[in-house]
Structure 1
Amino acid sequence: MNTPAHMALSLAALGRRARKGDIWWILGGALLPDLFLYAEHFLGRGASGLLVDLFNSVPLYAALLVGALATNRRRLVLLAASALLHIAFDLPFHAGDAHAHFWPFTDRAYHSPVSFWDADHHGRVFGLLEAALTAVCLWVLWTRKRAQRVAAVVLGVLYLNAFVHFVGHAFADSHWALW
């Protein structure tokens, strides 16, 4: 899934009873696993593989979640849960661009047979499923408080831009087959 889709999903799943300021922690958790990929893109520097693995590590976010629950740190719970939700939806949909989600225990990445964007791995189908899921999440956000309605509009615009960039290429490039 692309980052705005992760953010919409996390906010829809975790933001129902959000208190003032909670949405920033939820959105931040959904952004964290992709943070160094954006740094690499915008700064033109190669992101360290270790930092990408660190920010995509299930064991580290799980430890943060357990620690936050044990110390009653609500916002850290939201951050960790949001990052884990991001990773849960990344893991089955990254073929050639997978991350080492179980670092530091292993630096091996699971390369899924399907992708949300790569048509060589059914990206057209899964890209459309992602778009449908994102539309449902945006609708859920639209039905909530004003702050989440604003987030729905912003994330919707960001998602459309990402959808055209990643998934749109699969439809525009004639050598990529649907099945």
Structure 2
Amino acid sequence: MNTPAHLIFGAAAFAKEGQPRVTTAALLGALAPDLSLYLMASWHLFLMGTDAEIVFRVLYYSDTWQAIFAVDNSFFVWGGLLGFALWAKSPAFIAFAGAGLLHLALDFPLHNDDARAHFWPATDWKFISPVSYWDRNHYAGVVGPIEMVASVTCLAILWCRFQTLIPRLILTLAALMQLAPVFIWIFVFDR
């Protein structure tokens, strides 16, 4: 799924009105499994001037990048974090780990050749799904609209949950961010 959708879903599942630490933790947890990709891709694209085709068609699949993705996309790592959070009875840590685990659960069935090793350190096996959230050759034309409808539904739930101005401005930003990947991928791959 697109990262903004993960943020929206994580917030819908774990954000709490009047509990900004829990809400922030949910957003950070939803972002965390993709953070390494954003940092490494940004470094190459904007600081080193690496061509987007190289970043997303070569570096993404490199052993180094895949090793990093294996750690921050591991069901074992995130499950351990959630177990510890539940033991510690920390609402913010539960929201963080829960949103991260939700991110993985939503990504797992939606990655084809760009799948990650979700069961590290036990194995480097990857589930190569026949379905992709972004690749039109693997049903992205079906998945994309479903993701959009689900995101709008979650945004409506969040809009009802959060009644004050600042959260609603953030929700509006999230809605705009959910539309942004369409334009970003056009820019990145010149389509």
Q: TM-score range by the shorter chain?
A: 0.7 to 0.9
Deviations 1:105-124 (A, max 9, x none): 11111110011111100110
**1:6-25, aligned counterparts within 5 Å?**
6-16=6-16, 19-25=19-25
Indicate the SS of the match to 1:117. Answer: coil
TM-score, with length taken from structure 2: 0.82
1:27-57 alpha-carbon deviations (Å, 9 max, x no partner): 0000011011101221117563222111101
1:4 to 2:7 alignment:
no
Query: Are the aligned partners of 1:11 and 1:23 in contact in 2 as well (CA < 8 Å)?
Result: yes
The residue matched to 2:123 in structure 1 has which SS?
Answer: coil
Q: What amino acid does structure 1 have at the position aligned with 2:21? A: G
Preserved CA contact (<8 Å) 1:143 1:149? no
Q: List alignment gaps of at least 5 residues for structure 2.
A: 49-58
Separation of aligned partners in 2, 1:77 and 1:87: 15
CA distance in 2, matches of 1:104, 1:155: 33
Hey, what does 2:83 align to over in structure 1?
A: 66
Identity %: 34
Which residue number corresponds to residue 118 of structure 1?
Answer: 135
**Residue 153 (structure 1) aligns with:** 172
**Structure 2 residue corresponding to 1:101, chosen from 118, 129, 142:** 118
After the TM superposition, list the runs of 4 or more consecutive aligned residues in structure 1 that deviate by more than 4 angstroms. none
Question: Does the CA contact (< 8 Å) of 1:114 and 1:121 recur in 2?
Answer: yes
- Contact map agreement 2:17 2:161 (CA 8 A) in 1: no
Amino acid at match of 1:101: H
Deviation at 1:157, TM superposition (A): 1.2
The question of whether the paired residues in 2 share the 8 Å contact of 1:15 and 1:23 is answered with yes
Gaps of 5+ in 1: 174-179
How far apart, in 2, do the equivalents of 1:128 and 1:50 lie?
A: 31
Over the residues paired in the alignment, what is the CA RMSD in angstroms?
2.0
Q: Call closer, same or farther: CA 1:93–1:120 in 2, change over 3 Å.
A: same
Alpha-carbon deviation of 1:96? 1.2
User: What is residue 141 of structure 1 aligned with on the other side?
Assistant: 158
How many residue pairs match? The answer is 170
The residue aligned with 1:176 is: none
Partner-residue secondary structure (3-state), 1:143: helix
Shift of 1:16: 4.2
1 or 2, which has the higher helix percentage? 2
